[in-house]
Amino acid sequence: MLRYWTAGESHGQTLIALVDGFPAGVELDPSQIDVELRRRQGGYGRGGRQRIETDEVQIRTGIWHGTTLGSPLVLEVANRDYKLERLDDLPRPRPGHADLTGSMKYLGSIRGILERSSARETAVRVAAGGLAKQLLAPFGITALGYVTELGGERIDPIDGDYETLKAARDASEIYSLNPEKDADIKKLIDETRKAGDTLGGVMEVRVDGLPFGLGTHAQWDRKLDGRLAQAVMAVQAIKGVEIGMGFEAARLPGSKVHDPILYDESQKDSPNMGYVRPSNNAGGLEGGMTNGMPLVVRAAKKPISTLAKPLESINLDTKQPDAASYERSDVCAVPAASVIVENVVAFEIAAALVDKFGGDSLPEMQARYELFQKMARER
Ligand SMILES: Cc1cc2nc3c(=O)[nH]c(=O)nc-3n(C[C@H](O)[C@H](O)[C@H](O)COP(=O)(O)O)c2cc1C
Ligand SMILES: C=C(O[C@@H]1CC(C(=O)O)=C[C@@H](OP(=O)(O)O)[C@H]1O)C(=O)O
């Protein structure tokens, strides 16, 4: 079973991810993980913290001569802005953040809550995703995340193969597939910043090259749609997750929703094994299992809760009404969130791949993958 946990505070010494169950025999390129980390730090609308940090992964355990051993890996990203011991508490909880609820639950300070609830922690979730992508690559599986809506403005995705979409996404400062929309969206973010307000948005992740049968219909907690929903929903500030057509499917008759099944012998060596679907409203999942089509997952992110023009709150010491506390903050972190969602999805796919094809070593997984492809084609 491939899984991970994280530890670390936003302004503490360091952040770590402990990854367990990662197969042996994967030659790692840490610089590829750093590419993901730097993308997560970027995107238009971020606050001052990202000018302090230069995130870089250190792989502390689980490798020898650059190759994984099958033993647990510790991935570390150090905080340059380490100052936790010098920081004061926050007196007035910010509506929308974990401040009030966490300090009540743990009978403690707001500082003690915000330091761990902060999305700074996602740096090491992305590191774990960057590691997982290096297991997906030998199987030809790619994951790409991009922004499709920001502050209520839609940015329609374009069609194309992975390389085309990636080039478009990487040319955009807001990580959309349509860089021509950047100027309008950046203006919207600038105006919002001036108004002391914040913005949310929607992102989509597309995973290509998936074989049939990752996940299972057989038990609720192993259904891949359920696992993806948990991984994505557990990203800070994500408030909705859709797969394929998502909520829209509830509004249409079945004939307009389900993807017909056709057979084309010439495609039998591709991930769909010749079972061609003229549409992909299911978003690549049926019965909690991948169905040979690209996976499409969408997530909605709420606006940042720390407002420069703060909402009403209460001073927890005096119980008197007062404006919520303000700390340095992002105005819009939707582009960054698209990187995080892409990477947590990649990790879940890698975990499902390990479940299906056995996880002790990459060569063993590859042999079992080939055998399965052959058996499924002949079924
Ligand atoms: C990439 C990213 C950056 C974020 N930056 C901030 C921020 O600067 N200020 C803030 O108040 N919330 C920020 N958030 C959101 C909070 O972490 C989040 O709202 C909070 O932990 C409460 O959790 P919840 O929104 O999931 O309920 C960010 C979220 C993400 C994904
Ligand atoms: C540090 C990151 O994001 C932080 C997420 C965050 C929050 O409340 O979630 C609050 C801000 O923290 P700070 O007060 O240190 O500027 C963001 O900068 C990061 O993504 O690396």
User: If you write DSSP's letter for every residue of 175-206 in order, what string do you get?
Assistant: -BS-GGGHHHHHHHHHHHHHTT--B-EEEEEE
**Which residue among 329, 332, 339 is best mutated to probe the pocket of ligand 2, counting the most ligand atoms within 8 A of its Cβ?**
329
Comparison of pLDDT for 377 and 40, the residue scoring more: 40
pLDDT above 90 (res 22): yes
Which among 118, 150, 124 is positioned nearest to 335, based on CA atoms? 150
Distance 238 CA to ligand 1 centre (A): 9
Contact 238, 301 (CB under 8 A): yes
For 136-157, what is each residue's pLDDT tens digit? 999 999 999 999 999 999 998 7
- pLDDT for 158: 84
Distance 148 CA to ligand 2 centre (A): 23
Radius of gyration of the chain from Cα atoms? 22
Distance 236 CA to ligand 2 centre (A): 11
For 54-104, what is each residue's pLDDT tens digit? 999 999 999 999 999 999 999 999 999 999 999 999 999 999 999 999 999
The arithmetic mean of pLDDT across residues 186-194, rounded, is: 98
Distance 366 CA to ligand 2 centre (A): 40
- pLDDT for 56: 98
Contact 24, 32 (CB under 8 A): no
Ligand number nearest to the C-alpha of 55: 2
* Token pair recorded at residue 338: 């698209």
CA pseudo-torsion sign 20, 21, 25, 27: negative
The arithmetic mean of pLDDT across residues 109-129, rounded, is: 98
Q: CA torsion angle for 281, 285, 290, 293 (degrees, to 10)?
A: 0
Residue 293 carries which side chain, given as an amino acid letter? M
The arithmetic mean of pLDDT across residues 209-218, rounded, is: 97
Q: Which residues line ligand 2 (CB under 6 A)?
A: 10, 47, 49, 53, 81, 118-120, 123, 236, 327-330
- Residue 379 marked in a binding site: no
Query: What is the overall mean pLDDT for the chain?
Result: 97
Using the structure block, give the residue that is written with the tokens 């510790």. Answer: 74
- pLDDT for 60: 98
- pLDDT for 69: 98
The arithmetic mean of pLDDT across residues 352-379, rounded, is: 95
- pLDDT for 117: 98
Ligand 2, atom 7, residue with closest C-alpha: 118
Predicted ipTM of the assembly: 0.98
Alpha-carbon distance of 155 to 162, in angstroms, equals 18
Q: Is the pTM of this model over 0.90?
A: yes
* CA 118 to ligand 1: nearest atom: 17
Cβ-Cβ contacts under 8 Å for 178 (sequence gap 6 or more)? 155, 156, 157, 158, 168, 172
**Which residue among 46, 49, 113, 330 is best mutated to probe the pocket of ligand 1, counting the most ligand atoms within 8 A of its Cβ?**
330
Cβ-Cβ contacts under 8 Å for 108 (sequence gap 6 or more)? none
Ligand number nearest to the C-alpha of 115: 2
pLDDT above 90 (res 379): no
Ligand 2, atom 19, residue with closest C-alpha: 120
pLDDT above 80 (res 359): no
- Phi, psi angles (nearest 5°) of residue 234: -80, 0
Distance 241 CA to ligand 2 centre (A): 23
